[in-house]
Amino acid sequence: MGDILTQIQDELDMLLNQMQASFAYIRNRAPPAPIPGQPTLTSMQEFEASNMAAANPSAPPPLPSQDEFLKDIAELSRDMVLKEQQLEVLVASLPGLDKSEAEQVARMKELERELEGLEGERRRALEEKEALLRKVEGKIAKAGKMAS
């Protein structure tokens, strides 16, 4: 697994995808609600509509009942809450959340000094490598002159 920030980003992406899928489900699969003051379909019209849907296999599946829809919504909600709680656990595990801003700044300065020290060591090692390389190349050149 990656670092905590990558995990948080991945979890956030999954949460947003879940939310988008849930909204699409609600938009596309919500059973119709009667509009006050408007006539509702008769049972014969509903029967004919279901027969047409059965005869046409490319037609979308029938809408869920109100109870099924509410159960689906409850399940989608639980999934989103669970994902959000997983996200909170990751955020809570970020380093420095329990420290004040001044402590975090002091820690950053300490890490910066440590990095500068390591950079100095790296430069010295690079200079030593270059010196050793020149020395070896010089010996190889002398050995080549002696052999000719």
pLDDT of residue 29: 84
Q: Rounded mean pLDDT of 55-82? A: 85
Which pLDDT band holds residue 6 (cuts at 50, 70, 90)? very high
Mean pLDDT across 42-58: 64
- Mean pLDDT for the stretch of residues 102-128: 94
pLDDT band at 52 (very low <50, low <70, confident <90, very high): low
Written as six digits, the tokens of 146 are 């002696």
- For all residues of the chain together, what is the average pLDDT? 86
Task: Judge whether residue 58 has pLDDT over 80.
Answer: no
**Residue 131: its pLDDT value, please?**
95
Q: Is 74 helix (H, G, I), strand (E, B) or coil?
A: helix
Q: How many residues comprise the chain?
A: 148
Sign of CA dihedral 130, 132, 135, 137: negative
Cα 25 from Cα 22, distance rounded (Å): 5
* pLDDT of the residue at 95: 78
Q: Does the pLDDT at position 47 exceed 70?
A: no
The model's confidence at residue 46, banded by pLDDT at 50, 70 and 90, is: low
